[in-house]
Structure 1
Amino acid sequence: MSKRNFDEARSLLDEALSAEAENFEAKYTLAVLNRAEGQIDQAKALLKALVEEKPDFGRGFQELGLCELALKQEPAAISAFERAVEVDGSLIESWKFLAAAYRRKGDSRAEQAVMQVEFLASLPQELRTVISYLAANRLGDAERLCRYFMQQNKTHVEGMRLMAEIATRTGVFDDAEFLLETVMELAPDHIEAEVQLAHVLLRRQRFHKAHKRVKAIYERDKNPSSQVQALYASVCFGVGENDEAIKTYQEMIRVSPNDPQLRVSLAHIYNATGESPKAVDLFKQAYGLKPDFGDAFWSLANTKSYRFTGAELAAMTECVNAPSTPQIDKTQMQFALGKAYEDSKDYDTAFSHYQAGNTLKRETSNHSKEQLDIRISTQLDVCTAELFERLKDVGHNAPDPIFILGLPRAGSTLLEQILASHSKVDGTMELHDILDLAKRLRGRDKASDPSPRYPRILEELPTERFAQFGQQFIEDTRAYRGTAPYFIDKMPNNFFHIGLIKLILPNAKVIDARRHPMACCFSGYKQLFGEGQEFSCGLEEIGNYYRQYVDLMNHWDEVLPGFVLRVQHEDVIADLEGQVRRILDFCGLEFEESCVEFHKTKRTVRTPSAEQVRQPINKSGVDQWCNFESHLDPLKHALGPDILEAYGITPPA
């Protein structure tokens, strides 16, 4: 086509489409050819179908923009180019047009567009391609190309930043942090790298470290960008400076009143701090600004108490059926619709929406049953009674931590609220420190490695390392504590690492928050988690995960008798004071009435149960799963006969 040999090109495309009528790239190339030959209407028709099929297809929007330019429809062209760079920041031709258009209109965004053009023009073509791969979520291709480039250009700052972005996207936060720290050493004034590093620290819940960096940026920049301001508000919220976070978001909303994301971000703070009416009002304002903003609708549903109106149901239904609605928004609205129909007792329709949401969610899930099997089996093989006897009391002797773990939606937030209501216990959050330590011990072994370095390395470490790890945990988590002698780490996934916890902190307390398997699993299935918990998007997957969790917890009971206290959620509901006394006795704490009146404790709660734990105990959620039982045979099959029998659950048909 570069030689304008259009006839030959069209012939090749006809062959490709005859062999595979739905060949996406061939259809896109045909659209480009149509535009080049002046067949603009045909090109637009093809492109509109392509971007409806893939709303994140940046090149398609760029080509649509070029079609609109050919028709002298500048407003439509601007809209298309804006959408193009929104989904793929590497599209330099779109940025060039926008820079020129914004300049002509006196739009303040011209400067940013010019900077982006200059930045992209300065990059080697390989790195522009990496950016495009990242936009298309082709992480494997992005990593391979970026690694190849970095082998030839070992200290290329932008290459290192892209490698850090890839590491962040794949959850290797240690590598991302290291790469960005290195960039900051090579280029101390690289503001974008410093902001990127702060985002990584936030993802790792290193709030205080992130706060220090971002506050320094914020204070030295007399006119911080909106990105820096939003980051500053996030880190302030992370370290408990809620008033400062609220003030920052309010000022940003004043300056940018049409930005729906700012309202949602502010609403989440209000929801976490118990000001639900303010949160609800802001969520509704957000979808008023952007009618297909799935995050606003799901956030309303996720308060657990909001009830959608008929108009809101109709609006969400229209959006999930619209081809132009981005997939993430469709996913969020499917879960919100599920909650809405469940509230109205239309359980079959509710389930259809939960199922649709999980189907969309599964498309981006990396959960692997095989990898879960490896994680469980290696813990069973390595963490034996003999290991713990040989390494008895080698860890740090601090009694401070109380770990509450188990599966999500099992009642752990309630247990945390009960304990955090005690005068000698600080509530914190779901701390990542144990998970991060396990990742460091695993090294560069892949999750699919049949014999991973961790936990095998526990048999080989010098004994003094365990005490060092324990002391480091105490020091690193001190920033999240108040003045109480004990504190809670409520990371549910720590159940994988109870052996590690015992070795580094032998005097810690561990509480297993357990819930009826059908109730727990279905509650997880209908919950759209922000990140992680990818096993929850299928009934078979979540049932298998629960069964494996039970097997591992049984193992911990066998090799570490008495180290873990199991607290059944239904028992807490039935006998609150009795279970509170049992928990406090296990933790070596005197009974305090405030633990029974936990709902009166004012503190920030960042989980989906935030509003529920501010209410007295009620039984409303105990048997909700029964309303959906006709749909749950795959879950029952996955749980297996032993668990079904233990809980008296009717076997699947």
Structure 2
Amino acid sequence: MRQALELQQAGRLSEVEELCHRVLARTRNHPLALYILGTLGLDFDDELAIEYLSRAAAQEPNNPFYQLTLGEAWSKVGDYPPAIKHLQRSCELKPRLVEAHCCLGQAYARFDRGEMSLLSYGKALDLDRDHPLARTGIARALINLGRMDEAAAYLNENIARRVSMAQSYNILVGLRKFSSEPPELASILNELGNSAISAAEAHDLDFAAGKVLNDLGRYDEAMDHFLTARAFKVRDFDIDACRKRVDALISLFDPKLLAAMESYGDPSEAPVFVLGMPRSGTTLTEQICSSHPDAQGAGELTKLGRMAAAIGLKLGSTEAFQQTIRSMSTQQSQALAKDYLSNMALYASDASRTIDKMPHNFELVGLIAMIFPKARIIHCERDAIDNCVSCFISNLQHGHSYSYDLKTLGLYHREYDRLMSHWKAVLPRRIFDNRYEDMISDQEGQSRRLIDHLGLPWVDACLRFFDRGGSVRTLSRWQVRQPIYTSSVKRWKHYESKIQPLIEALGDLADI
């Protein structure tokens, strides 16, 4: 084990894995071997990592670091109730472990427990006033709750004390739209001229500068900063593997298979799946729907994607997934539905409709149809160029590497469009197309059609979605607290001279 730890520090991970398995061959539940294997598995196979970490924590339940890492792993896959349980335990075992309080604050925030999140970050700050995770975390928690002025105070203090300076600038400029040049812009540009900043800091500062310049209508300058920021990212998205995955899904979920499985799954009408490309209006749609007293938003649930991965749907290969789906029994489909509903119940009360607004569930419409034959599906769509530009200039997090390059982004959008066309062809009348531009031009009419699709009676509260309390935990959190505005329609024309690789890649999908 000492040798394994030394090799892990040296980055010789395959040797570390081999040593840990040798230890486990002699001592089946050696806690440190299990823990190290769990840490190695994170980012490669999160579910397997959780299995190893859970076994380690079971062997040494009073080890605060095992509890912390297990809680982080659950949080990473988006399953917050177990994350909170293990992170709370870590805090109890080692009350001065700042990282545990920060991770607990983050898990509470993502689980829509805003006030609990603030308490956890407050405890972290009591232990270390300058801890970067605590200072940016409490600001994000306040933003999620709509307490923008308090968040700005923390962020400005971070900048003054140079604690997570670049990240704080990036968050700060997202709090409002600028109509005149703010003093922050000169400061951000000055920081970008500092050769001592890291690549990660330059990335955040370029995004911050781009956001301000975009607000001011200085579009060419803004796009230059966005292009520079994107150049810092590793462009490793495999578009060929993406095409093969879409081919496999289209081949698998044909009319014959779907007809044969009409009686599968659970007849519950509670789940509502809002899906589409990121930045296509999914958060707006969720806010409108969850303004209805009989509907509740659950946020971006990862459960469906994790279930699909568990039965073989991987980016590199879909053979196991295809085999599992073709051989699935009625009882197995019902077990999958029960598992999903149990998870969904953790995020919502007994509302008659619960909205899961994970955009990338557009890949899993066939699985949705199989396990929930009566569930509503809402497809958010938007002008292809506008949608892609919004993805490109938004600082999308882990899992969106297709958005780092204009050409790849356009090609990816074509695959999304091809797959959605297939779903609409094989599942007629199951999918409601909620076009962003229709919502902008006829808010009440489109909102009424949306609520009608949910099978709910109309209520006027759905027109004042921006008055709702509670947290908003996505990049759209500022926008969805405002009434609907039209400035995002055909916004791409401001950047036309600089986005030709995107337009060419979109081909006939580009409405020029």
Work out whether the TM-score is over 0.5. yes
One of 192, 197, 208 as aligned partner of 2:65: 192
Moved more, 260-269 or 144-153: 144-153
5+ long unaligned stretches in structure 2: none
Q: Residues 300 and 306 of structure 1 are in contact (CA less than 8 Å); yes or no, is this contact kept in structure 2?
A: no
Q: Residues 210 and 235 of structure 1 are in contact (CA less than 8 Å); yes or no, is this contact kept in structure 2?
A: yes
> Which amino acid is the alignment partner of residue 210 of structure 1?
A
Task: Identify the residue that residue 26 of structure 1 maps to in structure 2.
Answer: none
Please give the secondary structure, in 2, of the residue aligned with 1:169: coil
Please give the secondary structure, in 2, of the residue aligned with 1:427: strand
> Which amino acid is the alignment partner of residue 281 of structure 1?
A
One of 261, 273, 276 as aligned partner of 2:145: 273
Q: Distance in 1 between matches of 2:312 and 2:173?
A: 38
Query: Cα deviations across residues 525-573 of structure 1 (Å, max 9, x unaligned)?
Result: 0011122111111111111111111110110011111111111100000
Moved more, 304-313 or 621-630: 304-313
Is structure 2 residue 31 aligned with structure 1 residue 157? yes
Task: Identify the residue that residue 9 of structure 2 maps to in structure 1.
Answer: 131
One of 372, 380, 383 as aligned partner of 1:513: 380
One of 207, 231, 235 as aligned partner of 2:80: 207
Is structure 2 residue 107 aligned with structure 1 residue 235? yes
Q: Residues 467 and 504 of structure 1 are in contact (CA less than 8 Å); yes or no, is this contact kept in structure 2?
A: yes
Q: What are the residue-to-residue correspondences of 1:304-323 with 2, within 5 Å?
A: 304-305=176-177, 311-323=183-195
Please give the secondary structure, in 1, of the residue aligned with 2:273: strand
Q: Distance in 2 between matches of 1:474 and 1:340?
A: 42
Task: Identify the residue that residue 589 of structure 1 maps to in structure 2.
Answer: 456
Is structure 2 residue 328 aligned with structure 1 residue 461? yes
Q: Distance in 2 between matches of 1:295 and 1:233?
A: 18
Is structure 2 residue 306 aligned with structure 1 residue 433? no
How many residues get paired? 508
What RMSD in Å do the two structures reach over aligned CA positions? 2.0
Q: Residues 158 and 164 of structure 2 are in contact (CA less than 8 Å); yes or no, is this contact kept in structure 1?
A: no
Q: Distance in 2 between matches of 1:539 and 1:459?
A: 37
Q: Distance in 2 between matches of 1:381 and 1:595?
A: 39
Q: Distance in 2 between matches of 1:245 and 1:195?
A: 16
Is structure 2 residue 315 aligned with structure 1 residue 447? yes
Please give the secondary structure, in 2, of the residue aligned with 1:640: helix
Q: Max radius of gyration: which structure?
A: 1
Query: Cα deviations across residues 493-545 of structure 1 (Å, max 9, x unaligned)?
Result: 00000000110111110000001001100000001112211111111111111
Q: Residues 370 and 448 of structure 1 are in contact (CA less than 8 Å); yes or no, is this contact kept in structure 2?
A: no
CA drift at 1:304: 4.9
CA gap 1:482/1:177 in 2 versus in 1, 3 angstroms: same
Q: What are the residue-to-residue correspondences of 1:293-312 with 2, within 5 Å?
A: 293-305=165-177, 311-312=183-184
Q: Distance in 2 between matches of 1:511 and 1:406?
A: 8
CA drift at 1:373: 1.0
Is structure 2 residue 127 aligned with structure 1 residue 249? no
Q: Distance in 2 between matches of 1:419 and 1:513?
A: 13
Is structure 2 residue 356 aligned with structure 1 residue 489? yes
Please give the secondary structure, in 2, of the residue aligned with 1:393: coil
Q: Distance in 2 between matches of 1:460 and 1:537?
A: 38
Task: Identify the residue that residue 369 of structure 1 maps to in structure 2.
Answer: 239
CA drift at 1:309: 5.8
One of 456, 460, 477 as aligned partner of 1:610: 477
Moved more, 567-576 or 333-342: 333-342
Q: Distance in 2 between matches of 1:559 and 1:591?
A: 29
Q: What are the residue-to-residue correspondences of 1:57-456 with 2, within 5 Å?
A: 123-133=1-11, 142=13, 144-154=14-24, 155=28, 156-170=30-44, 172-219=45-92, 221=94, 223-290=95-162, 293-305=165-177, 311-361=183-233, 363=234, 365-442=235-312, 447-449=315-317, 451-456=318-323
CA drift at 1:130: 1.9
Task: Identify the residue that residue 629 of structure 1 maps to in structure 2.
Answer: 496
Q: Residues 307 and 340 of structure 1 are in contact (CA less than 8 Å); yes or no, is this contact kept in structure 2?
A: no
Q: Distance in 2 between matches of 1:292 and 1:579?
A: 42
TM-score by structure 2 length? 0.94
Q: Residues 466 and 504 of structure 1 are in contact (CA less than 8 Å); yes or no, is this contact kept in structure 2?
A: yes
CA drift at 1:370: 1.6
Task: Identify the residue that residue 33 of structure 1 maps to in structure 2.
Answer: none
CA gap 1:456/1:331 in 2 versus in 1, 3 angstroms: farther
Q: Residues 308 and 340 of structure 1 are in contact (CA less than 8 Å); yes or no, is this contact kept in structure 2?
A: no
CA gap 1:590/1:456 in 2 versus in 1, 3 angstroms: same
Q: Distance in 2 between matches of 1:216 and 1:261?
A: 20
Q: Distance in 2 between matches of 1:256 and 1:340?
A: 32
> Which amino acid is the alignment partner of residue 316 of structure 2?
S
Q: Residues 535 and 545 of structure 1 are in contact (CA less than 8 Å); yes or no, is this contact kept in structure 2?
A: yes
> Which amino acid is the alignment partner of residue 280 of structure 2?
A
CA drift at 1:622: 1.5
One of 490, 494, 498 as aligned partner of 2:365: 498
CA gap 1:412/1:240 in 2 versus in 1, 3 angstroms: closer
Q: Residues 303 and 608 of structure 1 are in contact (CA less than 8 Å); yes or no, is this contact kept in structure 2?
A: no
Please give the secondary structure, in 2, of the residue aligned with 1:442: coil
Q: Distance in 2 between matches of 1:147 and 1:259?
A: 33
> Which amino acid is the alignment partner of residue 397 of structure 1?
P
Moved more, 519-528 or 608-617: 608-617
CA drift at 1:150: 2.3
Query: Cα deviations across residues 580-608 of structure 1 (Å, max 9, x unaligned)?
Result: 11111111111110001111111211011
Q: Residues 292 and 325 of structure 1 are in contact (CA less than 8 Å); yes or no, is this contact kept in structure 2?
A: no
CA drift at 1:356: 0.8
Q: Distance in 2 between matches of 1:177 and 1:249?
A: 25
CA drift at 1:306: 5.7
**What percent of counterpart residues are identical?**
24
CA gap 1:161/1:528 in 2 versus in 1, 3 angstroms: same
Q: Distance in 2 between matches of 1:503 and 1:146?
A: 42
Query: Cα deviations across residues 216-241 of structure 1 (Å, max 9, x unaligned)?
Result: 343455x3311222223223333333
Query: Cα deviations across residues 55-99 of structure 1 (Å, max 9, x unaligned)?
Result: xxxxxxxxxxxxxxxxxxxxxxxxxxxxxxxxxxxxxxxxxxxxx
Q: Residues 101 and 123 of structure 2 are in contact (CA less than 8 Å); yes or no, is this contact kept in structure 1?
A: no
Q: Residues 249 and 266 of structure 1 are in contact (CA less than 8 Å); yes or no, is this contact kept in structure 2?
A: yes
Q: Residues 110 and 473 of structure 2 are in contact (CA less than 8 Å); yes or no, is this contact kept in structure 1?
A: no
CA gap 1:291/1:617 in 2 versus in 1, 3 angstroms: same
Q: Distance in 1 between matches of 2:370 and 2:9?
A: 43
Q: Distance in 2 between matches of 1:162 and 1:303?
A: 40
